[in-house]
Amino acid sequence: MILFKNDRITPTDLKKLLDEGGDINLVDVREELEFNLCKIYGSVNLPLRNLEQNLHKVERSKPIVTICHHGVRSMQAALILREHGFVYVTSLDGGLEKWAVEIDKAMPRY
């Protein structure tokens, strides 16, 4: 089990975990329209506005990284998940914007 040390994970650290085959839930909390523009492979789209109604769709047995555009909504999502008993949760620092700048320069930006 991956134990996150902080409330946020950097794009570099997330990329490393994914490259090492880390079994992680990537929960993208942006709206569907945003999700369709760009995403990290393997992400599941659960918009923040419906997250509490869809907690049953989040696998509790795996660590969770919440993702959004800049990192604000994903921090809110991480807090919601923790409030509902999810333990291994962190947020992607800087969101997909920072991911696109630092990791995947070919990713569409908006």
Which residues are part of the catalytic machinery? Answer: 68
Instruction: Let me know the angle formed at the C-alpha of 102 by 100 and 103, rounded to the nearest 5 degrees.
Output: 70
> Which strands sit side by side in the sheet containing 44-45, from one edge to the other?
8-9, 89-92, 64-67, 25-28, 44-45
